[in-house]
Amino acid sequence: MADLDALRQELVTANRILAKENVLDSFGHISCRHPDNPNHFFMSRARAPEVLTEEDIMEFTLTGEVVGPTPAPGKPYSERFIHGAILEARPDVVSVIHNHSPSVIPFSVTGRKMRPIMHMCAPIGNDIPTWDIRTKFGDATNLLVTNMDMARDLAKTLGGRRVSLMRGHGSVIVGKSVREVVFNANYMEKNADMLIKALGMGEVEYLSDGEVATADKGRAGFTLERGWENWCNKVGRPYISQEWEMGPGFSKTDQ
Ligand code: MN
């Protein structure tokens, strides 16, 4: 049996870090698949990432129904379906972030492709699609993903990748652990910010497919831990070395 208290702490720390690093503000969320039940996941109730606590973490089915705790600490996020549909479509994924990461949004509304321009950002990949809610659900939605139909359509666009942008809204990013997805979301925001600056200066030299593949493959657990320890310190949360099992797909050697 996994240590679910440790998982709740990990999710709270992840929320604090993502807020501090400008990936989440009062909105956006991170989930983690239940380590003992792949058909459930954990995520906070609808509350800002900077103020939520362990008591706010709720358990859901992959179709977004509340499993617990009872009584519920509050109202769930209306976009929780994003997490369920991606975890349903991707058995390899343990953790999902949906964000409105501000530097990333311009790439969802212009023809400009977001691609990594710096080695730390390589894992976002060279092939990042943009999901447009309008294509299937018309031009009069509020752009929010509020049911499984919409969320499964988004998961389809994501396919087997790590990232999909969402037109006029934000993005989703997935990983094999909370620490991996937080790391890559932080560096995706940095990459987008640097890329906007570089585009203003002229022609941009992107990482090649070979460089992306090699940098991604060489990303060891040590790198993720180094970032996580530093970010824990920045947000005043205890650093707990990752000794416990995060769920399917997680291993200390390949994270
Ligand atoms: Mn959103």
Q: pLDDT digit string (tens) for 173-204? A: 999 999 999 999 999 999 999 999 999 999 99
Q: How many Å lie between the centroid of ligand 1 and the Cα of residue 107? A: 16
Decide if 79 is catalytic.
Answer: yes
Q: How many Å lie between the centroid of ligand 1 and the Cα of residue 129? A: 17
User: pLDDT band at residue 33, thresholds of 50, 70 and 90?
Assistant: very high
List own/partner pairs for 192-200 with CB under 8 A and 24 or more apart.
192/101, 192/103, 192/104, 192/106, 192/107, 192/114, 193/103, 194/117, 194/118, 195/107, 195/114, 195/115, 195/117, 196/103, 196/106, 198/117, 199/112
Identify the CA nearest to 76 among candidates 97, 47, 53, 98: 47
| Model pTM score | 0.94
Question: Exactly one of 10, 21, 79, 180 is catalytic; which is it?
Answer: 79
The predicted model gives 46-63 an average pLDDT of 98
pLDDT (tens digit per residue) in 133-163: 999 999 999 999 999 999 999 999 999 999 9
> How buried is 182 (Cβ within 10 angstroms: 0-12 exposed, 13-18 middle, 19+ buried)?
buried
Q: How many Å lie between the centroid of ligand 1 and the Cα of residue 99? A: 6
| CATH of residue 89 | 3.40.225.10
Q: Is the pLDDT of residue 244 over 80?
A: no
Q: Is the pLDDT of residue 251 over 70?
A: no
Q: How many Å lie between the centroid of ligand 1 and the Cα of residue 38? A: 24
Q: Is the pLDDT of residue 63 over 70?
A: yes
Count of structural domains, the chain: 1
Query: What is the span of the domain harbouring residue 225?
Result: 4-254
The predicted model gives 128-134 an average pLDDT of 98
Q: How many Å lie between the centroid of ligand 1 and the Cα of residue 41? A: 18
Q: Is the pLDDT of residue 49 over 90?
A: yes
Identify the CA nearest to 60 among candidates 169, 133, 193, 151: 151
- Which region among 83-92, 170-179, 217-226 has the lowest average model confidence (pLDDT)? 217-226
Q: How many Å lie between the centroid of ligand 1 and the Cα of residue 48? A: 12
User: pLDDT band at residue 220, thresholds of 50, 70 and 90?
Assistant: confident
Contact criterion met (CB below 8 Å) for 62 and 87: yes
Share of the chain above pLDDT 90, in %: 90
Tell me what pLDDT residue 253 has: 46
